[in-house]
Each structure stands twice: as C-alpha cells, then as structure tokens.
C-alpha cells in the first residue's frame, strides 16, 4: 500500500481556485499550471493531468521529475521538496534497515518471505549522460526493437511498465547536450520508443497512457523531421481511435498521415489506406470501404521492403491480408459479400511465430465471421485453435475479440460444437 502524500494535498488545498470562487485548486488546475510553467521556461510541452497529480497525492509517485518538482514548488508556493512531501529513493530505502530481521527474511519450509516492494525499488536512479552521442541513440533504438518484439509475441501486458520506465529515462536525453547533426536522430529514436510504449499501453487498455505517449512521440517525430515516423505515430493514433469507437477521429489521423504521401513508401501508404478502410467500415460507408481496400491493395502491389523504415517490417503479406480482412469483416457481418474470410485465412496461415498476437486476432475474427455467415462447426474448430493460441498472450484486445466470438456462438444453441466453444470461452476468459 502507498502512503498518501498529505503534505502535497494540503498545499494544494491552501490555494484558492482561479476558476471557481470559494473553492481550492483542483488537481486538474494544478496540472495545467505546471504544464504552463514548464512551457514558459523551457519551451517544452508536457501533458500532466489530474490523474498524474492524483498519483502524487496518493503516494504512488514520491519523487517526480526535477522539472515537475520545480514547477510544483512554484505553483503551490513552497520553497523545498520536503514541504510537498517529496523524497528520493535513498530516504525511502533507509527505512528498510529498521525492519526487524526476523520479518525481513523468514524461511518457512521452502517459502521465502521478503519485503520485495522495497527490495526492488532502486536506490540509485540510472544517471543520464551529460552529452548524448551515437552510442546512446543506438541503445534507445535497440530497446525499441526489443520491446516491440515482446509486444508482438506476448501482447502489451507483459512489459508495459518496463517500456515506460525506459521511455522516461530516454526522454531525459532530449535535455542533454547533443551535436546538432545527431539531434534529429535522437528525437527520432525517442519517438520510436514512445510509439512502442503507447501501443503496448493501448493493447493493455491503458488508453490515457497510450494517448499521452503517442502525442509525445508525435511531437518528437515532428522535431526530427522524419515523415515516415510521423506517419507511423499517426497510424497508431488512428488504430487506437478506431478500436475505441471513434472511427471519425481515426479517419482524420489517417488523412493527416497521408499528407505528402509522395514522401512515404508504398508499404506505408498501403497500411494507411487499410486503416482508412477500417474506419470507413465502422462508419458504415460500404462503397468507400471497398475503394479504400482497393487503394491499399494497389499500393501494396508496389511494396519494396528494402525501402521501408525498420518499424514497417511487421507489415508483410500476412499483416496486409489480416488488416484488410478486418476492414471487410465489419461490412461482411452486415450482409455484404466480400473476401474477408479468404484474407483472414491467408493471414492466419502466413503469420510467423514472432507475430503470435496478430495471428490469434485474425484467427478469432475468422471464427467470428464464419459463425455469422458460414458453417458454425468450422467456426467452432477455428475458435478452439484461437483460444489455444491465446494462452500466452497478455492482450486485452485479443481477449475482447474472443468475447465477441463468444457472443456470436450464442446464435447456435442447437450446434454442439458451438455450444462447447462458448462454454470453454466463458470458463477460460472469466478465469483470466
């Protein structure tokens, strides 16, 4: 349990609101004042909100970033960090020595009991170099590749906190000295890592964290002048918006990404047209959906992987068929005859083991589609395999798709295979 930071809360409640007479400053007002203070003094845009201030007051975060502490001292009219209840990990770690040794380490049979939350809290934060060189840039790039691989294989729930810890450290590099010739690359690799972190958060349904990370990454991509990276981050924002039931916003992000599409590779254009198709399908614009899928196919026919940026390696034939199949799925279940089933089946057959999550999601969508428009027995067999392959995933998106399949299976109460699948889905997913 975290110890509430009463000093911070009391400091906030001592200051009258600037927006509502007769009440004290709200958490959101504090966040906005901090954002404005940081921008006025450094030109850096940050996006603190009431949720972050709440974490400070609940004691979840006891040692915020140096710039945030300075801003909070100014906004809340205090002189020291201690007056706001902030302390570093060194002070926190000192309390461990006061723990009774018999409580600190107990062996009961084969069970080891430790105050592990204290043990695994670092007493020395990882230092940020005063000057950034190619070595640091390459290290951040390598971290992005590693986390992206974990995300594709296991989903965003496995290492989300780790990638955000890495992102927080990497973002501090932007304030270090860096040769002008390397600064665009520095912004680019931090943007790339932020995109990975945001997508892992999105996959775990930490949507606010995802949006903040995507917005930060987009700003970094703009600073880097990298049009490919800018399009990539906008495509992630589009994918999240579509998933969250805001297809119109998703369509807007896609259109922004396609500005100066001549600067993008054929693969990038194909992926963006595919996302446009998914948004248009959610908006029930059937003919526009089919046109967008056609544009995606046309662009992908000219794809040359040798020209693509490294993060586009995921968008191969299997991904293209899966994403276009997802777009066509939404109009197929409403009665339109399409190639959705064939495309999803191709995706399932050709996804490699590195993209286990994508294969599971495509397999689940194929089972759902056949449960509505085809043979429910065939759908049930595919659904069983989808549930088998979902065992190692920590993806809220994959789980929600399986719940959708469960709902479609209810339509076939007289088909034994569908009933068996539905019961197994309910038991497995409820347990998870």
DSSP 369-425: HHHHHS-HHHHHHHHHHHHHHGGG---HHHHHHHHHHHHHHTT-TT-HHHHHHHHHH
Per the listing, tokens 């899966």 go with 322
Name the nearest CA neighbour of 212 among 41, 37, 38, 45. 45
The pLDDT, as a whole number, for residue 92 is 46
Tens of pLDDT, residues 171-182: 999 988 999 999
The residue with greater pLDDT, 109 or 274, is: 274
Tens of pLDDT, residues 125-161: 677 788 999 999 999 999 998 898 887 777 776 777 8
**pLDDT level of residue 102 (50, 70, 90 thresholds):** very low
Q: 113-120, long-range: CB within 8 Å, 24+ apart, which pairs?
A: 118/92, 118/93
Examine the pLDDT at 323 and tell me if it is beyond 50.
yes
Tens of pLDDT, residues 236-254: 999 999 988 999 999 999 9
Range 201-208 average pLDDT: 88
Distance, in Å, from the CA atom of 144 to the CA atom of 163, rounded to the nearest integer, reads: 8
**pLDDT level of residue 121 (50, 70, 90 thresholds):** low
Name the nearest CA neighbour of 151 among 358, 320, 315. 358
For residues 376 and 336, the answer to whether their CB atoms sit within 8 Å is no
Q: Say what percent of the chain tops pLDDT 90.
A: 56
Pair of tokens at residue 13? 């409640």
The residue with greater pLDDT, 19 or 74, is: 74
Mean pLDDT, the chain, whole residue set:
87
The pLDDT, as a whole number, for residue 63 is 86
Does this model's pTM top 0.85? no
Range 7-26 average pLDDT: 85
**pLDDT level of residue 80 (50, 70, 90 thresholds):** confident
Pair of tokens at residue 17? 């609101």
The pLDDT, as a whole number, for residue 96 is 42
The pLDDT, as a whole number, for residue 268 is 97
- Among 39-53, 168-182, 289-303, 352-366, where is mean pLDDT lowest? 39-53
Range 330-355 average pLDDT: 94
Examine the pLDDT at 99 and tell me if it is beyond 60.
no
The pLDDT, as a whole number, for residue 386 is 92
10 Å CB burial of residue 286 (0-12, 13-18, 19+) is: middle
The pLDDT, as a whole number, for residue 370 is 96
Pair of tokens at residue 149? 């691989």
The pLDDT, as a whole number, for residue 301 is 97
Per the listing, tokens 């201030």 go with 53
Name the nearest CA neighbour of 283 among 317, 254, 308. 254
End-to-end, the C-alpha distance of the chain in Å comes to 24
The residue with greater pLDDT, 351 or 109, is: 351
**pLDDT level of residue 20 (50, 70, 90 thresholds):** confident
10 Å CB burial of residue 98 (0-12, 13-18, 19+) is: exposed
């Amino acid at each position: 349990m975290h110890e509430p930071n009463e000093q911070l809360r009391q400091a906030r409640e001592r200051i009258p609101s600037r927006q509502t007479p007769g009440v004290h400053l709200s958490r959101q007002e504090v966040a906005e004042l901090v954002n404005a203070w940081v921008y006025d003094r450094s030109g850096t845009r940050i996006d603190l909100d009431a949720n972050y201030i709440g974490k400070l007051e609940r004691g979840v975060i006891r040692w915020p970033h140096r710039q945030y502490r300075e801003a909070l001292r100014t906004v809340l009219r205090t002189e020291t960090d201690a007056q706001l209840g902030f302390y570093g990990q060194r002070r926190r770690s000192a309390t461990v020595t006061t723990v009774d040794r018999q409580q600190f380490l107990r062996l009961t049979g084969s069970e080891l009991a430790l105050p592990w939350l204290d043990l695994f809290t670092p007493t020395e934060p990882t230092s940020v170099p005063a000057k950034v060189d190619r070595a640091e840039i390459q290290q951040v790039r390598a971290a992005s590749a590693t986390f992206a691989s974990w995300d594709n294989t296991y989903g965003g729930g496995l290492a989300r906190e780790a990638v955000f810890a890495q992102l927080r450290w990497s973002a501090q590099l932007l304030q270090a000295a860096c040769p002008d010739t390397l600064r665009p690359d520095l912004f680019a690799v931090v943007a790339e890592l932020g995109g990975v972190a945001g997508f892992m958060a999105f996959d775990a349904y930490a949507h606010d964290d995802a949006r903040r990370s995507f917005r930060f990454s987009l700003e970094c991509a703009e600073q880097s002048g990298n049009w490919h990276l800018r399009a990539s981050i906008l495509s992630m924002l589009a994918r999240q918006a579509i998933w969250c039931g805001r297809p119109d916003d998703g369509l807007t992000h896609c259109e922004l990404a396609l500005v100066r599409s001549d600067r993008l590779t054929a693969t990038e254009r194909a992926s963006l047209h595919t996302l446009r198709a998914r948004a248009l399908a959610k908006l029930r614009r059937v003919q526009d959906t089919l046109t967008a899928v056609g544009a995606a196919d046309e662009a992908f026919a000219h794809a040359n992987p040798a020209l693509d940026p490294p993060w586009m390696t995921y968008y191969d034939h299997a991904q293209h068929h899966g994403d276009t199949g997802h777009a066509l799925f939404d109009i197929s279940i409403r009665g339109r005859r399409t190639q959705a089933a064939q495309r999803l089946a191709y995706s399932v057959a050709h996804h490699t083991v590195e993209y286990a999550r994508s294969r599971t999601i495509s397999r689940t969508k194929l089972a759902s589609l056949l449960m509505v428009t085809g043979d429910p027995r065939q759908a049930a067999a595919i659904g069983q395999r989808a549930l088998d392959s979902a065992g190692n995933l920590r993806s809220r998106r994959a789980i929600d798709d399986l719940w959708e399949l469960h709902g479609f299976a209810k339509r076939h109460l007289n088909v034994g295979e569908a009933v068996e699948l539905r019961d197994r889905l309910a038991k497995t997913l409820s347990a998870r």
